[in-house]
Chains A and B, each alone.
Chain A
Amino acid sequence: MSGSGGGGGSGGGTPTVSDCAKLTKMTTLNSAIPKVVKTLQADDVLAIGLDSGGSGRVEVRTKQGDLAGSITYSGVSALRKCIEEGWQFIAIIRSVKGGDVTVEIRPKAS
């Protein structure tokens, strides 16, 4: 899958503006919710945020607010830190194969 990857490292410290502004990543949804996944198709844009319950989980929700799944990948702590710093991100659906949903994460255009 050429062009995937990127996704600005991981590790401690506060992410810089530059780190968060450039953070892009191709990954798959974890714990995908079947009834929500059935409504998704390529190019749909979903919102990324932290679980409002305070678990620290990085979640993906539809425009209607339905939980579609959660995000993990090698380097995901950088994404969580950027969100905690106030940055907003979106997940663009790249493919849906059964319950296997591939998304591209990128900063939300301001």
Chain B
Amino acid sequence: MATVPPDTQPKLHGAPSRKTSPAEPATLCLAGGTYVEFCDEPHWDQLFGSGLRAAAAVGSLGCDVIFSTYVGADHADDLDVYADTFGIQTRKELIERTIRFAYSHPLARPEITPPLHLLRQATPLTVEGKAVLRFGMLEGTAVVTGGRVVYDPQSTYDPVPFDANGSCAEELAVVANRWEAEQLTGESTVEAMGRALLDWRGGTVAIIKRGARGLSVFVRDTGGEIIERSLPAYETRQVWPIGSGDVFSSVFAHWWAVKCVDPFAAAEHASRATACYCGSRQLQVLEAPYDALGYELKPLRPELDGNRPLVYLAGPFFTTAQRWLVREARGALFGQGVQVFSPFHDVGLGAAEEVISQDINALDRCQAVLALIDGADTGTVFEVGYARAKNIPVIALAEGEAEEPLKMLHGTGCEVQADFTTAVYRAAWAAARAIPTSAEPRPHATGNASS
């Protein structure tokens, strides 16, 4: 087994698969959670969590990794199999039960077991190394002392500053999403957030992830000056977002903390590798030239000149199940930063003469349509046809339809997707692509869209 007793100097496994210069640390020390991840659709039942996924990703890149984590006694043996599979050395701290995240789909809020209010905080892990990646954890914390340290707070609820538990780094890179950065700094603009994160002790790099808008990377150079660059996120044909942040942080840590490359180049590697992961659900695809998906990665548009695209959400809402799906799709689209017109939410039930004109007006204004096509509701099919006649892109979600009834959709240039999450992302991206590149304001405002 790949377990390393906590108090012994770890011996590196196997023959080194990469060449290291004397200046490069040979090993990445990694601390993070090991959690069960379950998803109804697409089906997924794995033991990963931020820490284990990141360790597996770094192991797949040929980097030696020592992984410190908590794991329940119920999954300690499983962790050994994962460690053997991905070439990871582990330092396990046993807890009562492994935390489980269950999703109905990858964009849904997960059900966490045990519930957060019943979680007991375990004894802190301690990690020392020249190159370290630390994730925030629900069940405990890792106190880190390191040379080059990457910190990803990984908290949807309460991100904490790096040094709040006594951690310290000679050079610190913070990788956070926009919400986490806002919570950590109290700032409202990305630039102010980046600068505030660099003010942390050891602060050298701050990366703020902005979804489809890409990354804002802030670097303090040796002269103390701050350099900011925007880097793109990349479009993929399929989208599996669970664990994408873990992959980003791990690939960045591999390149910046272990391989000692320029932080902008490391972030670019991480962004492309993350796209390859999202497009495949695989961890062995994270290396340049990033061609594992079989198609060229296209950068997403980083800025929309202040405009937020409008997606028209077409779908039946006559049963509880249909209304649930409409709600899920609407919430997921909002999560992608677009405006949404949902006939169910924005017009509601009513006489045809009252309802139709509002729907058509919104169709005329939207940049893309997401059509929930299962069941082939006549209203939805009409909306699809109307949109295509006006050359508005249509992404159709068809999970249960046979190929034959979809012929008209395929034949008129609709993009048909069988996966809910992919359909949501693709609709938001299609709408963003359709926004004019000039700074001209859009001709109409959308009164019903959520902010």
Contacts and interface: CB of A to CB of B under 8 A. Distances in A.
Nearest to B79: A77
Given A57-B84, A72-B85, A12 B77 contact: yes
Interface string B22-63: 000000000000001110111111110000000000001000
Interface centre among A31, A72, A77 (most CB of B within 10 A): A72
B99 to A, nearest CB: 12
A65 B81 CA distance: 22
B78 interface: yes
B78 A97 contact: no
Interface string B76-104: 11101110110100000000000000000
B355 interface: no
A81 B44 CA distance: 22
Nearest to A5: B45
Contact of A74 (B1, B40, B75): B75
Interface centre among B46, B81, B85, B282 (most CB of A within 10 A): B81
A62 to B, nearest CB: 18
B392 to A, nearest CB: 27
Interface residues of A, number: 33
Interface string A92-110: 0000011110100000000
B260 interface: no
Contact of A80 (B37, B73, B81): B81
B74 to A, nearest CB: 6
B304 interface: no
B434 interface: no
A55 interface: yes
Given A74-B47, A99-B280, A99-B282, A58 B77 contact: no
Nearest to A32: B282
A97 B43 contact: no
A74 B36 contact: yes
Contacts of B60: 31
A76 interface: yes
Contacts of A75: 45, 78
A28 interface: yes
B279 A73 contact: no
A71 to B, nearest CB: 8
A26 interface: yes
B292 A99 contact: yes
A41 interface: no
A1 B44 CA distance: 10
A24 interface: no
A97 to B, nearest CB: 7
Interface string A1-25: 1001101001110000000000001
Interface centre among A34, A97, A99 (most CB of B within 10 A): A99
Contacts of B82: 72, 76
A77 B81 contact: yes
A30 interface: yes
A99 B75 contact: no
B282 A26 contact: no
Nearest to A4: B43
B41 A1 contact: yes
Contacts of A55: 84-85, 87
B294 A77 contact: no
A58 B44 contact: no
B293 interface: yes
Given A30-B283, A72-B82, A77-B78, A11 B43 contact: no
Nearest to B237: A98
7 contacts: A1-B40, A7-B45, A32-B282, A56-B81, A72-B46, A72-B82, A74-B75
Interface of A: 1, 4-5, 7, 10-12, 25-28, 30-32, 34, 55-58, 70, 72-77, 80-81, 97-100, 102
> Which 4 A/B pairs are nearest by Cβ-Cβ distance?
A77-B77, A56-B84, A1-B43, A99-B280
